[in-house]
C-alpha cells in the first residue's frame, strides 16, 4: 500500500510536469547518476531537463521569475526521484531523505533562494510523506551547467 502511494504520487507529479519516462534518464559520461552504498544512496546534481531539453535556463531575478525557478526546482527533484525509483525498484524503499542541496542561478540582487527550493521540498514531502523530510541548503550561484536555473543533489537513507 505504501509502495503504491509513493510511486503513484510520484508518477502523478512527474506527469503533471511533462515527463515521459520512455525517454528519460539517458546516461552519458563518466560518472554515475546514482550510487548506492550500504544504507545510503547519493544522487548526482540534477538540472531541469525533460527529455533532451533543459526547460528552465537563466538567472532568476533577471531572466526568469521566482515561479519559473520553483518549477525548475520541482523538475530537478522529480528527476532525482525517478533515479531513486529506477535504482531501488520503488520509492517506498526510501527511509529518509537526509540532505538536498539546491543551487540557484541567481541575479546579483536575488535573495529568495529558499523560496525557490521550497518547490523541491514540497514535492519530496508530498511523494514520500515523513520519509521526505530532509535537511536543506540553498545557495545562489554564478552559473550552472547548460545555463540551468537550478541544480539539485540529494542523499537519502534506505
Instruction: Give the interface with a copy of itself as residue ranges (CB under 8 A).
Output: 29-35, 37-40, 42-45, 95-101, 103, 106-114, 117-118, 121-122, 125, 133-147, 151, 153, 155, 157
Residue 33 or 48 with smaller CB distance to a copy of itself: 33
Only one residue has cell 531513486, namely: 84
For a copy of itself, the closer of residues 16 and 157 by Cβ is 157
Q: Which is nearer to a copy of itself, 16 or 35 (CB)?
A: 35
Q: How far is the CB of 99 from a copy of itself (least distance, A)?
A: 5
Instruction: Indicate the residue among 55 and 107 with the shorter CB distance to a copy of itself.
Output: 107
Least distance CB 77 / a copy of itself (angstroms) = 12
Task: Identify the helix (H) or strand (E) that includes residue 42.
Answer: strand 40-46
Q: Provide the minimum distance between the beta carbon of 64 and a copy of itself in the complex, in angstroms, as a whole number.
A: 15
Are 156 and 101 spatial neighbours (Cβ–Cβ below 8 Å)?
Answer: no
* Helix, strand, or coil (residue 110): coil
What is the enclosing helix (H) or strand (E) of 77?
Answer: helix 66-88
Q: Please classify residue 10 by burial: count the beta carbons closer than 10 Å to its beta carbon, then call 0-12 exposed, 13-18 middle and 19+ buried.
A: buried
Q: Which helix (H) or strand (E) holds 121?
A: helix 113-128
Amino acid at each position: 500500500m505504501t509502495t503504491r502511494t509513493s510511486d503513484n504520487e510520484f508518477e502523478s507529479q512527474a506527469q503533471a510536469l511533462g515527463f515521459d519516462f520512455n525517454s528519460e534518464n539517458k546516461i552519458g559520461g563518466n560518472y554515475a547518476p546514482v550510487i548506492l552504498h550500504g544504507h545510503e544512496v547519493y544522487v548526482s546534481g540534477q538540472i531541469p531537463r525533460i527529455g533532451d531539453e533543459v526547460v528552465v535556463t537563466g538567472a532568476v531575478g533577471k531572466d526568469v521569475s521566482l515561479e519559473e525557478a520553483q518549477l525548475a526546482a520541482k523538475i530537478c527533484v522529480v528527476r532525482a526521484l525517478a533515479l531513486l525509483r529506477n535504482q531501488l525498484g520503488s520509492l517506498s524503499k526510501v527511509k529518509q531523505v537526509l540532505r538536498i542541496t539546491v543551487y540557484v542561478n541567481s541575479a546579483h540582487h536575488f535573495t529568495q533562494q529558499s523560496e525557490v527550493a521550497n518547490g523541491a521540498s514540497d514535492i519530496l514531502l508530498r511523494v514520500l510523506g515523513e520519509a521526505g523530510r530532509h535537511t536543506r541548503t540553498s545557495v545562489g550561484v554564478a552559473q550552472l551547467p547548460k545555463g540551468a536555473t537550478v541544480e539539485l543533489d540529494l542523499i537519502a537513507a534506505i
